[in-house]
Each structure stands twice: as structure tokens, then as C-alpha cells.
Amino acid sequence: MKPINVGLLGIGTVGSGTWTVLTRNAEEITRRAGHPIRITAVADRNTERARTIVGDAARVTADAFELVRDPDIDIIVELIGGYGIARELVLAAIENGKHVVTANKALLAVHGKEIFAAAQAKGVTVAFEAAVAGGIPIIKALREGLSANRIQWVAGIINGTTNFILTEMRDKGLSFADVLKEAQALGYAEADPTFDIEGIDAAHKITIMSAIAFGIPVQFDKAYIEGITKLDAVDIKYAERLGYRIKLLGIARRREQGVELRVHPTLIPTRRLIANVEGAMNAVLVQGDAVGATLYYGKGAGAEPTASAVIADLVDVARLHSAPVENRVPHLAFQADQLVDLPILPIEEVQSAYYLRMRVEDKTGVLADITRILADGKISIDAMLQREPGDGESQTDIILLTHTAIEGQVNKAIQSIENLKTIVGKVTRIRLEDLN
């Protein structure tokens, strides 16, 4: 059996995990792939650290372009990350006729259209299971396992850092700022956690999944993104009392008018399995017309869980290394000439239910004024919670859950409610998804 030679770009956390798992399970992987898969060269700026990991078993260089141009290397594994040099290296590898395996969700979400077109033209494969949800094989499930289905929607907890923060806020009653410091101390959050807490990382991932689910181009620039930085611990408590938990969800939903593509904090009924995904774990719920709802759960990050996905891609590429292009699974599940450019709906046209919290003066007629405004906007109320004011308090909280409504109508209603003299400050609005 001819070995498949791999060039590894970046041997940090995931790269070292890939080396370890590929070495440890070499015999099992060979039996699955039909070829030995071996990393013959590693490129990393820290060559000294790279050599301590691979020893004499692979060539080490600081020049990544040396590997993408090496005629003896069959597959390039890109684990550098980011949009810049990674894009140049991936395109150079494709131009040199090499298959690419990457865990770089940011690169594919932003430049996927260009990269997949280049790979299609050159007759090579770009595999990216590790780019979404770490060790969970969600890309393969969407692209192959559910190919008989018309996918209706995908909803995922796809960022472990934010899920850890929300879990700790609920369990300990702490503020966002306090839990973020804890997450950084434990290594769950980066020193600069912006990509995680502002929802950008989750948006990269749901953008990729939406393309595979619906057969559309990757369109990260059209995603609506809202992070968890403004989330108040009091809303987590009220949600619990009403039978809900708050999670940062990535949602892609097919509508008649187009596709919803959004990331934001979301109330989910506690009875749903996905609402009970805790800590740094990930989960993705997919609704297909034939299969119904399917749930995929596991570790969304970490050296060996992500390495598991990288190596699964290596095995797939090794199996089809010499197969004609037409016999390979298309990058985005649908044949390249069958992608459709469905519009991504602006957030004002999204349909959701809503959690509304209002600080109000404890006066007669306040609730009647609020419900009148909602009724005028054709927004119906599903449930209500009103906190009794304490001794000496002149203000209280009213929490309303609405039935499904159009976001633009809800925005107008909120503006009218905030203009009432009995309303104190701004209305807190969090979207609610039943995921039924």
C-alpha cells in the first residue's frame, strides 16, 4: 500500500494532538484508510518546539511554503488559523495539486467561495470536518448522512467558551464579567475573548453549516451576530423560573422568502435536550423533513477531539485520493453547479418568539398599556411573570413571553413601550426558540 504523505502546517494544540493520535492509532487508521497516512514534514515558526514533538520522525521547517510546493507531499493539513497567510498557503497548496484538510472556520466562512472554486477547478478536495464543533462529525452528517433530507433548520451551541460562561452564570448567579475572568483563568477563554463572547466564532461555524444544509454559498458577511456581553444574570434567573435556559445559539433556518442566518442569546425550553448541554460542550440540532430532529453532542474543542476530526478527513481523502472528481462528495454537499443563491434575510424579517423584560412604575394601568401596544403590533402574549415589589419599592419587573412574531414589528412595539412614562429605562429583549 502506497503511503499518503502529509505536510502539517502548525503544530500547536490541535497540530500536536493530530501528531499524537495519528502516531498512536497508526495501525487502526491504516486499516480504515487502505493506505498508511504519515506526516512527513511539519512547518512551524517555533522549530525547536516542533522538533521536541516529532523528533526525527518528520522534517521540520519554518517555511510553510516549502511544504505546499513539495512534490512528495499529497495532503496539506492547515492548522495555522486566521484569514491572512492561511489563505495564501491553502490557495498555493491547491494550485500545486494538493488536497487540503483544515480546521480553519474563519478562513472558510470568509473566503470559502474562492477556495472551493479553486479546488473544484484543480480537481482536489478541501476537507474541513474539524472547522465546526471540534470532534463532533456534524459536517459529515449534514453532507452525507442526511443527504436524503430537505434540511429545514440547524441550531447549535457551537462555542464552548460562551456555553461555559452561561452555565456558570446560571449555576453560581455571578455576573458576566466575573465569570469571564474565571473562564480566562481556567483556560476556556483567550486573553482577548472577542471572537467567542461577541458571537463571531459561532457565526463562522453556522455560516459553513448553512451552506451545506441548504446548498447556498458561504455568506458570513450577511449573518446577524449578537454576543453575550450584555446579558444580565437576572434574565437567566427569570428564564429559569419560566422553564427556559439561555444559550448562545447559531441558527440557520429555511423560509419561503430566504434563509435566516443568525447568532444570539436564545431562550430554549428546559425540557429540550440541547438546553441541558453544559460547560464547554457543544451540540447541534438538525431538523430534516424525513428524519425529523437529530442531535449531535460532544467536545467542541481540545487537542485530541479536534485531531479526531482532522484525521477523519485525512482518512476520507486517502480513500478517494485517486478517484475521479465526479465520484467525490461535493464540498458543500450539493454539486458545485447546483448551488442556489438564496437571499439571507435581514434580522428585521426574522420570525421568532421573544422574552421581554420591562422595569416599570408600580402603578395601575401599566400592564394594560403594554398589552395594548403589543396587540396593535399583532404580537400575542404566551406567558407573563410579574415580580411583586418589596416594601418601600415603587418599581417592579414585568416579564412577557410572546408567540412567534416578525422582528421588525417587535422592534416597533418595544420603541412604543419605552416611550411610556411608566417605563424605566430600556426594554430587555431576548429571542426565544422552541426548537420543536
Q: Which is nearest to 136 in space by CA: 284, 352, 344, 334?
A: 284
Is 281:114 a contact under the CB 8 Å cutoff?
A: no
Catalytic member of 98, 105, 140, 205: 205
Q: Which is nearest to 283 in space by CA: 268, 235, 291, 292?
A: 268
Strand order in the sheet with 37-43: 59-61, 37-43, 4-9, 75-78, 99-102, 126-127
Q: Which is nearest to 320 in space by CA: 167, 123, 174?
A: 123
- In angstroms, the Cα distances linking 311 to 26, 158, 222, 317 are 11, 20, 32, 10
Q: Where are the alpha helices (DSSP H) in 193-288?
A: 194-197, 200-214, 233-241
Q: Identify the DSSP state of 343.
A: P
Told to judge if 205 belongs to the known catalytic residues of this protein, a careful annotator would answer yes
3-state helix, strand, coil in the chain (%, to 5): 40, 25, 35
**How far is Cα 274 from Cα 254, in angstroms, rounded to an integer?**
20
Non-local CB neighbours of 100 within 8 Å, separated by 6+ positions: 75, 76, 77, 78, 90, 93, 94, 119, 124, 125, 126, 127
**How far is Cα 184 from Cα 199, in angstroms, rounded to an integer?**
17
**How far is Cα 62 from Cα 47, in angstroms, rounded to an integer?**
6
Instruction: Kindly report the number of other CB atoms within 10 A of residue 392's CB atom.
Output: 5
**How far is Cα 115 from Cα 113, in angstroms, rounded to an integer?**
6
- In angstroms, the Cα distances linking 321 to 28, 32, 104, 251 are 19, 14, 22, 34
**26-33 and 13-24 helices cross at what angle (nearest 10)?**
80
Which sequence positions are flagged as catalytic?
205
